[in-house]
Chain A
Amino acid sequence: MEKQPHLLLWKAVFVLIMIGLGFGIYAGSKSIDYTWRWERIPQYIINTEATTVRSPFDGSATIEKGNKLVVTSDYGDDPLVIEKFDNLLVSNGDLVFEGDPLVEVENWNIGPLTWGLVMTLQLSVVSLVFAVVIGLFAGLARISTNPALRYLSVTYIELIRGTPLLVQIFIFYFFIGTVLDLDRFTAGVAALSVFTGAYIAEIVRSGIQSISPGQMEAARSLGMNYVQAMVNVILPQAFKRTLPPMAGQFINLIKDSSLVSVISITDLTKAGREVVSSTFAPFEVWFAVALMYLVLTGALSWAIQRLEKRLSASD
């Protein structure tokens, strides 16, 4: 590649365009009189809520060394010992009556957006595992010499790639889910893995076919059977070659998982919708949701790039 002149200039242009974009968003929201309320968002990711611990009996409070509150009962009950608290509401030697507040403890609560993120992660990981298994077998069947296997695989791939995922999710949930009595999560995972599996099958097929036939011949001539040759020689090479398209497919899977919110799975997208209806801060929520998806997909691309680097030792 030829070296681009004025490198610094073009970097500056990039920065300017990004600033322009940011300003555009700001101006856009100004023009519709939108008030940003970012402070409402964090509580939906993680919130801290204080709960008050009250005395179960009449007695007296003592504060021992190391910030330990001991309440001894007037009636011979076992003393109450509280070692961890955030706010102390009594002082040393106070008399307390049953029901008096003693301390406040701050609870860390995971907010609905984080729960949504966890659900999206679960959906994606479980679907990914199944999709890879399905895709591997469908891809191998696709290049099999057995016509039954080949036609089955072609039919599967064409059916799935020819219909929208949203429709497949409905079919899995309302038809297959009803027939087989699947819960939402299982139906969602099934739809996502069957859908992604079809694309992975094509990636696997092209990956295997890109390996020179001489590799299979060399392996077989050394006495390996078909499965041994596939597992030890062909697939490791195909795996390395298919990593970039696989990464793309995995990232698509994470994003496609947002569609299962239509069957009432509370994933990140559905959580976003719910939070919007209680905060009335749609812009902030959707930006936050987008950012959380980006964290997932970014982490995945990063991990796969690391793996690619490690595998490139033999290049």
Chain B
Amino acid sequence: MTNMTDKSIIQARNIEKIYSNGCHALKNVSLDINRGEVVVIIGPSGSGKSTFLRTLNQLESISDGSIHIDEVSLTDRKTNINKVREEVGMVFQSFNLFPHKTALGNVVLSPMKVKKKARTVAEQEGRELLKKVGLAERMNNYPSHLSGGQQQRVAIARALAMHPKIMLFDEPTSALDPEMVGEVLDVMKSLASDGMTMVVVTHEMGFAREVADRVVFMEDGELVFEESPERFFSSDNPRLQRFLGQVL
């Protein structure tokens, strides 16, 4: 395995995940991710990509193994998981914006309620973030009055408002019409170039090739293969070849 050094911000070791219905979704998955690194996870449907991503902020508990985020153990019962989640932003395939709040309301909610920031301060920061994702004009729109691409950019701004050290993306562009994919990927690219540590599950091979420092291939709950993009896409691993043959 590469990069098993102590500068890793995410250390996932020998993770097993068995759902309560008996589905064995993760089998001995280990992955270390360095500060500032962009890791893209690809793999067929049902291979455990989402499950793995969701264990990293404990939306799913793990059955065995260990995860450390910035040297804090997630399996330690003394760990305050809410504190960890402040450091780990997540962007969902279906946006999951709060429909009863405006774009700005979505962005400021958690800073105000969790970090107890004053509204004026939170809104000031929120406006900056929305400007950064290109939504300066849409701050007071409710999610129902935003396009999919705009909603996903609000969702990214909302996660960034907590000043996370890590951003997790679970197929952020899969629910979007093709013409809106670009605007979201652009935001993610600029985030990557700002040095954000990112773990991205996506089917956008172009993004993987262009932005990723490492690409990981999962299948049947196993982490099959990980490589730099150049070597990844030129690899002759038969399982990877079969998958790439299907999607490309």
Contact = CB atoms under 8 A, between A and B. Distances in A.
A and B, one complex? yes
A219 B101 CA distance: 13
A215 B98 contact: yes
Nearest to A221: B90
Contacts of A314: 99-102, 142-144
Which of B85, B115, B144, B155 lies at the interface centre, i.e. has the most chain A CB atoms within 10 A of its CB?
A: B85
Interface in A166-202: none
B14 interface: no
Interface string A195-232: 00000000000000000101101111111110010001
Contact of A237 (B99, B115, B144): B99
Contact of A222 (B83, B99, B101, B158): B158
Interface residues of A, number: 22
Contacts of B90: 217-218, 221
A223 B94 contact: no
Interface string B38-68: 0000000000000000000101000000000
A60 B83 CA distance: 87
Interface string B87-120: 0111010101111111000000110011100000
B114 A224 contact: yes
A222 B82 CA distance: 8
B197 to A, nearest CB: 16
B113 A240 contact: no
Contact of B85 (A214, A223, A232, A233): A223
Given A214-B94, A237-B99, A314-B99, A221 B59 contact: yes
B171 interface: no
A173 B166 CA distance: 60
A93 interface: no
A2 interface: no
B103 to A, nearest CB: 11
Nearest to B94: A214
Contact of B100 (A222, A228, A236): A236
B144 A315 contact: yes
A32 interface: no
Interface of B: 57, 59, 82-83, 85-86, 88-90, 92, 94, 96-102, 109-110, 113-115, 142-144, 155, 158-159, 162
The 5 closest A-B pairs by CB, nearest first: A223-B86, A218-B96, A222-B110, A214-B96, A221-B90
27 contacts: A212-B96, A217-B59, A217-B96, A218-B96, A218-B98, A220-B59, A221-B59, A221-B90, A222-B86, A222-B89, A222-B114, A222-B159, A223-B83, A223-B85, A223-B86, A223-B115, A224-B82, A224-B113, A228-B113, A232-B109, A233-B98, A237-B99, A313-B142, A314-B143, A314-B144, A315-B142, A315-B144
Interface of A: 212, 214-215, 217-225, 228, 232-233, 236-237, 240, 311, 313-315
